[in-house]
Amino acid sequence: MDAWEQLVEKYYDQIYQYCKRHFFGNHVLAEDLTQDTFMKVISKIDSYQFSGSFFNYLYTVAVNTCNNFSKRHKLDESSFDEAYDLLLNDQTNEPVILDEKAQMIQQALDHLPEYQREAVILKYYHELKVKEIAKITNASVATTQSRIYQGLVKMKQELEKEDISFE
C-alpha cells in the first residue's frame, strides 16, 4: 500500500496535467480520467511486464484511457468550449491558464488533431523523448516525429493568426 501511495504521489500530477491538456483544460474530466488511469493500473498490476519504465507504462495507460473516452463519447473541442470559457472566467476555480501567451498556446494546442496534440503534449509538457512517445502512442519513431513537427507547424500558423511571436 505504501508503494502504491508513493507511485500516486510521484506521478498523479503529471498524468492529471496530461489529461487536462488532452481535454482542452477541463479539470473535472481530467481528475476523473486520472483516477481511471490509476485504477486500471492497479487492477492490472499483476499482469504488468517489467520491461521498460513504469513511467512509460503509466503514460500508455493514460493515453489509452483518454483516447477511449474520446471515442466512446465522440468528443471534440466544441464539446468543451462552454466549459472552458466558464473555467477561465470563474474566480473560485484555480485558473486554467494564468498568462495570456500561455492561454494562446493552449488554444493553438487545442486546435490540433488528437494524435498531434498528444504527441506535442508528451514532448513539450512532459519532456518525453520521441522514442518514448512512439512506444506510448503505439506509433513508429518517424510517425511520432512527423506528428510533433506537423503539430508545431499548425500551432505556429494558429499563433501567427493571433499575432503572437516567440522569436
The per-residue pLDDT for range 62-118, each reduced to its tens digit, is: 988 988 888 777 654 444 444 444 444 444 444 443 467 777 888 888 889 989 998
User: Residues with Cβ < 8 Å from 160, sequence gap 6 or more?
Assistant: none
Angle between the 2-22 and 27-43 helix axes, to the nearest 10 degrees? 140
DSSP for 150-165, written as a single string: HHHHHHHHHHHHTT--
* Confidence at 36, pLDDT banded by 50, 70, 90: very high
CB-CB contact of 33 with 19 (8 Å):
yes
CB-CB contact of 88 with 97 (8 Å):
yes
pLDDT at 79: 45
Q: How far apart are CA 33 and CA 18, in angstroms?
A: 10
Q: How far apart are CA 104 and CA 5, in angstroms?
A: 36
pLDDT at 145: 92
Rg (CA), the chain: 16
Output 115 or 46, whichever has higher pLDDT: 115
Is pLDDT above 60 for 166?
no
Output 122 or 76, whichever has higher pLDDT: 122
Q: Tell how far CA 123 is from the center of its chain.
A: 10
Q: How far apart are CA 147 and CA 143, in angstroms?
A: 6
Residue indicated by cell numbers 506537423? 150
CB-CB contact of 80 with 117 (8 Å):
no
Residue indicated by cell numbers 466549459? 83
pLDDT at 150: 92
